[in-house]
């Protein structure tokens, strides 16, 4: 065994000694239990917070949207007149709300990097 081999072994032993308390059976079981518990309830708090914020935001926006879309000029003739029923303030507000809810649903399952 060369000097280098001896030092390598000493280094490995030092790392193993430092990690020894972590390999205790009770310690390992407790840590694994914590991880498994997080797997079955992933980010519950985050989902509640984002869902709550999204709902409040949508509710506030919903009360304002009708007023905003009221000002849209609906064409009385031409091709656009055929889809005028889609351009009523209520429909446009509902569409905007659907988009907002879709965005919340898209973000909710993602983890913060």
Partner 1 sequence: MKASDEELTALVMATKNAAAFGELVRRHQGVVRGMLQRMCRNHALADDLAQDTFIRAFEKIGSYLGTGSIKSWFCSIAYTEFLKSARKRKSTDRAMERFGSGMEDTEAPRDMGNVVDLDRALATLKDEERVAVVMCYSCGMSHSEAAEATGMPLGTIKSHVNRGRAKLQAYFAESEVMAS
Footprint of partner 1 (CB under 8 A): 7-8, 10-12, 14-15, 17-19, 21-23, 28-29, 31-36, 38-40, 42, 111, 113
In angstroms, what is the minimal distance from the CB of 86 to partner 1?
40
Q: Angle of helix 44-70 relative to helix 89-107, nearest 10 degrees?
A: 160
- Return the number of the residue (40 or 73) whose C-beta is nearest partner 1: 40
d(CA 111, CA 113): 6
Q: Around Cβ 85, how many Cβ atoms within 10 Å? A: 9
- Nearer Cβ to partner 1, position 23 or 73? 23
- Is the CB of 16 or the CB of 81 nearer to partner 1? 16
d(CA 65, CA 98): 12
């Amino acid at each position: 065994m060369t000097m280098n081999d001896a030092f390598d072994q000493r280094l490995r032993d030092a790392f193993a000694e430092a990690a020894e308390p972590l390999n205790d059976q009770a310690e390992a079981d407790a840590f694994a239990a914590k991880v498994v518990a997080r797997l079955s309830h992933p980010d519950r708090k985050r989902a509640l917070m984002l869902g709550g914020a999204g709902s409040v935001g949508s509710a506030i926006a919903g009360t304002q949207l009708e007023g905003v879309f009221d000002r849209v000029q609906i064409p009385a003739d031409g091709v656009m007149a055929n889809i005028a029923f889609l351009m009523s303030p209520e429909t446009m507000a509902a569409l905007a709300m659907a988009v907002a809810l879709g965005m919340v649903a898209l973000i909710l399952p993602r983890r913060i990097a």
